[in-house]
Amino acid sequence: MKMTVGGRAVSYVLAYLFALLALYPIVLMISSSLKTNMEIFASPLSLPKTFSLDTYKKLWEAVPYADFLWNSVFVSTLSVLLITVFSAMAAFYLSRFSFKWTAGLYFFFIIGLMIPIKLGIVPLFLLMKNLGLLNSLWSLILIYTASGIPISVFILTGFFRTLPIELEEAARIDGCSHFQVFWRVLLPLIRPALATVVIINFIHAWNDFFFPLIFIQEEALKTIPVGMMVLFGEYETDWSLLFAGLTLSALPMIVVFLMASRQFMEGLTAGAVK
């Protein structure tokens, strides 16, 4: 479609203005973490005059960041792995076989898309208590896995259905078992959808703070978002420390994103509008 020169100029101004609006607070967060408190209050908007990592040294002593980081990595990685494997297996079954109950089973999984799981938090709390999982990272892994399943089954089933059935028949004639068809033939073909599932669930598990807030009390078991909350009670007036804490919570995700932004973008939209 054609645009007039004026229309084009306005488009560019708007598009880049919003980019600035999206990025500026993040830049401000990082640049403030490199300033002293005095500098933040005197000139909050300017870039830091001297580059100093003193605040980070102080932060390192104030919170066990290495523990938080490990907990976050452990919980997110394991949850995403379980979600992806389990959902792919379920989606394969739901899309490739039609028994009496497959439609009902699919519907049962999909209901989960509309259930705000936070509303079940009281029974969930009691369940975790009975299972002896309070104050255990496994409570988080189980919940993230369970709550990630509906959207993942939805996306993966949609994708499996787009694959031609002939592929599978050919593989079976060659003597492949169900498992081999699934693992060797179909899984490699749905890689874009798997990427979507991994990304959506990883962002969710990494950033969530509701469940760790409720299930994890012990300091050494906290994930990054909840662990960093401590700072905001204890160091209320030390702004450079607070900004450093925020930066450090966000940094791992930003680094992963920048390294894999193409897969992120394609992955996030691949399964969305099917």
Stretch that binds other proteins, among 47-55, 158-166, 187-195, 261-269 (CB under 8 A): 261-269
R_g of the chain, CA atoms, integer Å: 23
Binding track, positions 202-241, relative to other proteins; x by CB under 8 A: -x--xxxxx---x---------xxx-xx--x------x--
- Residue 6 C-beta: closest distance to other proteins, Å: 13
Q: Which of residues 54-73 bind other proteins (CB under 8 A)?
A: none
Stretch that binds other proteins, among 49-57, 58-66, 121-129, 159-167 (CB under 8 A): 121-129
Residue 238, SS3 per DSSP: coil
Query: Backbone dihedral region of 8: left (phi > 0), alpha (psi from -120 to 50 degrees) or beta?
Result: alpha
Q: Which of 5, 66, 114, 173 binds other proteins (CB under 8 A)?
A: 114
Give the nearer residue to other proteins in terms of CB position, either 44 or 132: 44
| Residue 29 to residue 190: CA distance in whole angstroms | 38
Provide φ and ψ at 102, rounded to 5°.
Answer: -65, -40
Q: How many CA atoms lie within 13 A of 78 on its CB side?
A: 13
Residue with tokens 């699934």: 182
Q: Which of residues 122-181 bind other proteins (CB under 8 A)?
A: 122-124, 126-127, 142-143, 145-147, 149-150, 153, 177-179
For 58, counting Cβ atoms within 10 Å of its Cβ (0-12 exposed, 13-18 middle, 19+ buried), the class is: middle
Stretch that binds other proteins, among 19-27, 48-56, 159-167, 168-176 (CB under 8 A): 19-27
- Residue 43 C-beta: closest distance to other proteins, Å: 9
User: Residue 136 to residues 31, 40, 139, 222, 243: CA-CA distances in angstroms?
Assistant: 36, 39, 6, 10, 29
Fill in the DSSP letter of residue 98. -
Q: How many helices (H) and strands (E) does the chain have?
A: 15, 0
Q: Which of 6, 116, 188, 233 binds other proteins (CB under 8 A)?
A: 116
For residues 86-103, b (16+ Cβ closer than 10 Å) or e, as one string?
bbbbbbbbbbbeeeeeee
Binding of residue 119 to other proteins (CB under 8 A): yes
Give the nearer residue to other proteins in terms of CB position, either 220 or 272: 272
Binding of residue 45 to other proteins (CB under 8 A): yes
Q: Which of 57, 120, 220, 260 binds other proteins (CB under 8 A)?
A: 120
- Residue 126 C-beta: closest distance to other proteins, Å: 8
Stretch that binds other proteins, among 47-55, 61-69, 84-92, 160-168 (CB under 8 A): 84-92
